[in-house]
Structure 1
Amino acid sequence: MQALPRHHSIFLMILRRMRAPLILLILLMAVSVLGLTLAPGVDEHGNVHYLSFFHAFYFISYTATTIGFGEIPHSFSDQQRLWVIVSIYLSVVGWAYTLGSVFSLLSDRSLQQAIAMQRFVRAVRRLREPFYLVCGYGETGRLICSALDRMGLRSVVIEIDETKVGEIELHSFSADVPALCADASSPETLKYAGLTHPHCAGVIALTNEDATNLAIAIAARLLAPKLPALCRAEHRETSANMASFGTRHIINPFERFGETLALALHAPAASQLLDWLTGLPGSTVERRRDPPRGHWIVCGHGRFGRWMVDAMDAEALPVTIIDRELRPDSTHRWVQGDGTGANALKEADIMQATGIVAGTSSDVDNLSIAVTARELNPELFVILRQNQYANQALFDAFESDITVLPSEIIAHECLAILGTPLLVPFLREVRMRDESWCSTQLERLTARLGWTVPEIWSERINLKGAPALYRRLMRGETVTLDMLLRSPTDRTVPLDCEVLYLDRDDDDHLLMPAGNTSLRPGDELLLAGTRRARSDLGLGIGNEHTLAYLITGEDLPGGWIWLRLARRGRRSLKPILP
């Protein structure tokens, strides 16, 4: 990282602000000392005596600073005492002005920002482990930072809202999270935050402004082209602009849910399978009823509503749009209103509708729409948009079929990309499969692992991640998935996990590989299962003795001494064996 420019020097800033008070103090001190040396005094013998500059400076120093008072080296004359009175009042005026300037400086916002910047830059410079630069600490940023902290990864935050920056210290992160209140669209700020730091692992742009996220994406592309950049974009134009200069991961929450809804309408089993695989680990996913085909009503034709209408148009479903502004077209029926009242819903034929989307930017309006619609048509399939996480209790109280929270959609996708990059191509492959295949896989996986969202992780077969397995494969031994996915305590018991995807360097990718698939050095496996299964698999691929037991059933001695004794015992038994 580059050093801070000269204008960020706190010392120089203090000197500039305190220049006038310091000059005044020095001038008053000089006048007081000079006057005291010129005032005549009398010693013990009655002789005229003048103070030296040293004695005068010494006296004025401890008198003007209120440390004490004493007439040295002799008692003062009336002339000297008169000048001391003048000096004392001069020093009071000087110190009052100086202290006022100090208090004003300490409360100055520019100085506070400079101190915060210096502290932030030092904290970033001291990082010696991989970290992610998170731009924007709203609901999504908070979820991302908390998840990264649970994964043992560091994060650095830039947030323009000072209140949100203060909230970071209130959260119980296991490691310090350096945070700066600044505009993340500034390339200089991004460099201070570690964009060009050798340990920066990626940039995550999550601000509420598409223009800011676009600026971050451009800066990351030009200043750190090798870093992965995950950028939020809520407008199609911004997404296209980001894609034009090679942004790797562009996340539009409304577009993602539009794709999910289209998939749920076209292939319900595939949608349910993806929901089960990409949910929050440990949470339970209930088998929901499939979105019905028929007449739909979309309340609110903003960014979210447009994606919902596009998803239904792709499935050739009739849609009625309720919005405050009429923008009629030849394809859809329009009703003017907000959907919170029964009149607009009845005009949109709510009694004949099969589903409704409450997609306005107001949580109160969305809940009002959903409640009113359900009263008019209890069998209605309700998709409810939630804008603020703080209203979670209200949305939990209303049992919608699907609740859309954009911050969670973005957070889940970011974590999937960061935590298990192999999950992205796997999900792409699943979306291209037919409904019967997805239904079969969903029933098979949930029968083994239940409806609790499994833990998703990847294992690469190399010397660092799987040393025992890698050495055996390099020696030409054959190891299949069935051999490997066994309990290290009882090899007859299979592990509670499944291999979802096998990625190979020669582009030979396998989706849901069979158990008799032979492994090769360099393979990367995407797995879903329990945390216990993950731990057991890590032991099997990393420990030579555990792996030998899984493959051969032979329980080898664990230490050097026991190995020597076992070999000696086998040699002594050789003549006896037939």
Structure 2
Amino acid sequence: MQALPRHHSIFLMILRRLRAPLILLIVLMSVSVLGLTLAPGQDEHGNVQYLSFFHAFYFISYTATTIGFGEIPYSFSDEQRLWVVVSIYLSVVGWAYTLGSVFSLLSDRSLQQAIATQRFVRAVRRLREPFYLVCGYGETGRLICSALERMGLRSVVIEIDEARVGEIELHSFSADVPALCADASSPETLKYAGLTHPHCAGVIALTNQDATNLAIAIAARLLAPKLPALCRAEHRETAANMASFGTRHIINPFERFGETLALALHAPAASQMLRWLAGLPGSTVERRRDPPRGHWIVCGHGRFGRSMVDAMDAEDLPVTIIDRNPLPDGTHRWIHGDGTGADALREAGVLQATGIVAGTSSDVDNLSIAVTARELNPGLFVILRQNQSANQALFDAFESDITVLPSEIIAHECLAILGTPLLAPFLREVRLRDETWCAAQLERLAGRLGWTVPEVWSERVNLARSPALHRRLMQGEHLTLDTLLRSPTDRSSALDCEVLYLDRDDDDHLLMPAGSTVLRAGDELLLAGTRHARNDLALNLANEHTLEYLVTGKELPGGWIWERLSRDSRRPMKPLLP
């Protein structure tokens, strides 16, 4: 689809397209009126009369529009009636041509696109709340828009596929999602979609074309350099190009899962902790068996397959690759085939292997590989790539150890960045810790919060987010984490949440800070816990009465008058002058 024009007017477009029929209709009407004024008529006394231009125009107007009214101001003569007959047929031809042109124009895709564009632009301009510009409404885009709505954020969508744009109206979004069928790589399209809008909170490029995502990243960097841009990149060259333009968040789903697999092979407890914290809130994470060390088979050496091989090479694991176009590299063993047949799997050593990766671009082939491999070796650890979420029922029927859906990987990464920016540095810190530390922390957190994926959120100690706490800290009081993480109704009970990470402006970062840690103004906390604990903590941070109860155990009287009297009673008395 071509880029949108810089300036366009639907009214002028309609006038240009209807220029010929309108001119023809005007000429026919003018000729009919002129002829009727020249045709002689008679009044009731037999005197010759000629119609004025006004009467002729009035008669032709209601006659040509098939309304019908009668002969005015006198009954017509034969000459006048003959000319009226000619005028009727002329008007029928003119109106038929004009109406045909109008119907043809209404069905024209260019006009429909122009009308949809103007409606879209007006909807975006009327937005008065933060929104994210989502480019690409595939499986990942749908997940992102749904999650943004749950977070209370609006979204604006650009999608080149008209069928996908139509699907947006079928989804049950509580707020309207402005959507435009256009090429997101055009800077003008991005500006129409609100890239430079004062309420635009960020850009998310999720199209399946790396070139388009790169163009979006460049446009965002040049037109709105302060906005965060989250861009999908499936090729390393594209990711490097985006990084050179200063794109803050580049997401490659295959590399992300490759890093996760390498971590699972190297530090299973750390991998389990990341999976538990980065899952969808409310879902239950079952403790799965850890990927075993030993001989692995990778079926399909595309982008996903190469990421899996790189992850296993990093752990010094022997790998056999099955591919239709083998490319012997002198390091790995290659087998010609697709892995769906038992012969290729036996040749690759499936009977002695510990794990297999079904990583082709076909869901049917991947399921066939997994089923055949499990029949030959029931104890095999199976990593199954799922390309289309529509095939979820088939993948649920086969119990793989790990099912990889690229759209979910990207969605989880985007949501973690948008909802809890501190989660990314926390996960990086966890990857650097040893297995013993990760296992101990996982058991402690899961013991307190269970294996249901917790709420993960951030809190900043400032006047806007934590007014009560901020005022006390600015007055010189020393408050610890243990003091805050208490129930607002029973200070002897701890909240069901944990502080995972503490970030300070002086680059002092604390991982899993102790409860005795003293808070400072400007601190930002990453927490995990239940929704109830999240609401209670927000009350502790914002409400002066609640915080006073947590610190001293005393409940302040409610209301402005009682609070003023209580404050006066606590004020020290001035000594009397002698």
Using the size of structure 2 for normalisation, the TM-score is 0.97
Aligned 1:376-455 pairs, distance under 5 A: 376-455=376-455
Structure 1 unaligned residues grouped into runs of 5+: 572-578
Does residue 482 in structure 1 map to residue 482 in structure 2?
yes
Deviation per residue, 1:448-475 (Å, 9 max, x gap): 0000000000000000000000000000
Residue range with higher mean Cα deviation, 106-115 or 67-76: 67-76
Give the distance between the partners of 2:521 and 2:155, measured in 1 at CA. 33
Whether 1:126 and 2:126 are equivalent positions in the alignment is yes
1:67 maps to which residue? 67
Letter of the aligned partner of 2:500 in structure 1?
A: L
Per-residue deviation, 1:5: 5.9
Alignment of 1:16-27 (within 5 A): 16-27=16-27
Please give the alpha-carbon distance, in whole angstroms, between the structure 2 residues aligned to 1:358 and 1:336.
15
User: What CA distance in whole angstroms lies between the structure 2 residues aligned with 1:387 and 1:91?
Assistant: 61
Residues of 1 paired with 2:229 and 2:106: CA distance?
38
Tell me which residue corresponds to 1:575: none
Deviations 1:482-541 (A, max 9, x none): 000000010100000000000000111100000000000010000000000000000000
Shift of residue 48, structure 1, vs aligned partner: 0.3
Q: In the alignment, is residue 497 of structure 1 matched against residue 497 of structure 2? A: yes
Give identity over the alignment, percent: 88
- 1: CA distance, partners of 2:234 / 2:342: 31
Distance in structure 2 (CA, Å) of the matches to 1:500 and 1:88:
85
Counterparts of 1:273 and 1:135 in 2: how far apart (Å)?
31
Distance in 2 (CA, whole Å) between partners of 1:363 and 1:187 is 36
Provide the residue aligned with 1:467 in structure 2: 467
Q: Which residue of 2 aligns with 1:280?
A: 280
After TM superposition, give the deviation of residue 561 of structure 1 in Å.
3.2
- Residues 232-243 of structure 1: matches in 2 within 5 Å? 232-243=232-243
Asked if the contact 2:6/2:188 (under 8 Å) is kept, the reply is no
Question: Are the equivalent residues in 1 in contact too, given 2:133–2:204 (CA < 8 A)?
Answer: yes
The answer for the alignment partner of 1:104 in structure 2 is 104
Partner of 1:574: none
What is the alpha-carbon distance in structure 1 between the residues aligned to residue 326 and residue 541 of structure 2? 62
1:544 matched to which residue of 2?
A: 544
- Residue in 1 aligned with 2:575? none
Give the aligned partner of residue 47 of structure 2.
47
Q: Please list every run of 5 or more consecutive structure 2 residues that lacks an aligned counterpart in the other structure.
A: 572-578
Q: What does residue 228 of structure 1 align with?
A: 228
- Considering only aligned residues, what root-mean-square deviation do their CA atoms show, in Å? 1.4
Residue 566 of structure 1, CA deviation: 4.9
Q: Tell me which residue corresponds to 1:327.
A: 327
Cα 1:211–1:569 shift into 2, 3 Å: closer
2:276 corresponds to 1:268: no
- Deviation for aligned residue 1:27: 0.2
Q: Distance in 1 between matches of 2:128 and 2:349?
A: 62
1:361 corresponding residue in structure 2: 361
**Amino acid in structure 1 at the alignment position of 2:45:** H
Figure out how many residues of one structure are paired with residues of the other and give that number: 570
Shift of residue 329, structure 1, vs aligned partner: 1.4
User: How far, CA to CA, are the matches of 1:565 and 1:222 in structure 2?
Assistant: 57
Using a 3 Å threshold, how does the CA distance of structure 1 residues 339 and 503 change in structure 2: closer, same or farther?
same
Q: CA deviation at 1:163?
A: 0.4
Q: Does 1:192 align with 2:196?
A: no
* Aligned-pair CA distance for 1:568: 7.9
C-alpha change, 1:195 and 1:565, in structure 2 (3 Å) is closer
Q: Distance in 1 between matches of 2:368 and 2:249?
A: 35
Alignment partner of 2:331: what SS?
coil
Q: Using the alignment, how far apart are the partners of 2:430 and 2:377 within structure 1? A: 35
Q: Partners of 2:517 and 2:569 in 1: how far apart? A: 37
The Cα of 1:559 is off from its aligned counterpart by 1.3
The residue number in structure 1 matching 2:250 is 250
Distance 1:473 1:304, change over 3 A: same
Rounded Cα–Cα distance in structure 2 between residues aligned with 1:162 and 1:20: 32
1:167: which partner in 2? 167
In 2, distance between residues paired with 1:226 and 1:563?
A: 44
Work out the CA distance in 2 between the residues paired with 1:169 and 1:46.
70
Distance 1:126 1:316, change over 3 A: same
SS at match of 1:321: strand
1:521 maps to amino acid: A
Query: Which string of whole-angstrom CA distances, capped at 9 and with x for unpartnered residues, describes residues 98-125 of structure 1?
Result: 0000000000000000000000001111
AA partner of residue 467 (structure 1)? P
Which secondary structure does the structure 1 equivalent of 2:365 belong to?
A: helix
- Where does residue 314 of structure 1 map in the other structure? 314
Give the Cα separation in 2 of the matches to 1:436 and 1:90: 94
Kept in 1: contact 2:454–2:530 (CA 8 A): yes
Q: Aligned partner of 1:145: which letter?
A: C
SS at match of 1:84: helix
Letter in 2 for 1:471: R
Deviations 1:377-406 (A, max 9, x none): 000000000000011111111111000000
* Structure 1: distance between partners of 2:269 and 2:367: 28
| Paired position in structure 1 for 2:117 | 117
One-letter code of the match for 1:365?
Answer: D
Distance in 2 of aligned mates of 1:388 and 1:515: 45
Alpha-carbon distance between aligned partners in 2 of 1:426 and 1:196, rounded to the nearest angstrom: 32
Residues 24 and 342 (structure 1), Cα distance of their counterparts in 2 relative to 1, 3 Å cut: same
CA distance in 2, matches of 1:570, 1:27: 94
Residue 229 and residue 570 in structure 1: after superposition, are their counterparts in 2 closer, same or farther (change >3 A)?
closer
Which residue identity lines up with residue 190 of structure 2 in the other structure? Answer: L
Write the deviation string for residues 430-449 of structure 1: whole angstroms up to 9, x where unpaired: 11111111111100100000
- 2:520 aligned with 1:520: yes
- With the length of structure 1 as denominator, give the TM-score of the two structures: 0.97
Residue 247 of structure 1: SS of its match in structure 2?
Answer: coil
- Alpha-carbon shift at residue 569 of structure 1 (Å): 7.8
CA distance in 1 between counterparts of 2:176 and 2:564 reads 49
- Matches of 1:337 and 1:565 in 2, distance apart? 85
What is the CA-CA distance between 1:79 and the residue it aligns to? Answer: 0.3
Partner of 2:15: 15
CA distance in 2, matches of 1:120, 1:395: 38
> How many Å separate the matches in 1 of 2:540 and 2:510?
22
Distance, in Å, in 2 between the alignment partners of 1:245 and 1:22 is 53
The residue aligned with 2:574 is none
Structure 2 distance, partners of 1:378, 1:346, is: 14
Q: Give the C-alpha shift of residue 565 in structure 1.
A: 5.7
Distance 1:560 1:105 in 2: 67
Letter in 2 for 1:32: S
How far the C-alpha of 1:241 sits from its partner, in A, is 1.0
Distance 1:335 1:351 in 2: 15
Q: d(CA) in 1 for partners of 2:171 and 2:568?
A: 59
User: SS of the residue aligned with 1:238?
Assistant: helix
| Separation in 2, partners of 1:249, 1:384 | 27
Give the SS at the match of 2:383: strand
Partner letter of residue 281 of structure 1? P
* Equivalent AA in structure 2 for residue 233 of structure 1: A
Distance (whole Å) between structure 2 residues aligned to residue 34 and residue 294 of structure 1: 98
Deviation at 1:272, TM superposition (A): 0.4
Return the alpha-carbon distance in structure 1 between the equivalents of residues 60 and 566 of structure 2: 90
Task: Give the letter aligned to residue 464 of structure 2.
Answer: K
Aligned equivalents of 1:298, 1:241: Cα separation in 2: 29
Q: 1:50 to 1:482 in 2, by over 3 A?
A: same
User: Which residue in 1 is equivalent to 2:297?
Assistant: 297
Q: AA paired with 1:224?
A: A
What letter corresponds to residue 530 of structure 1 in structure 2? T
- How many Å separate the matches in 2 of 1:271 and 1:349? 28
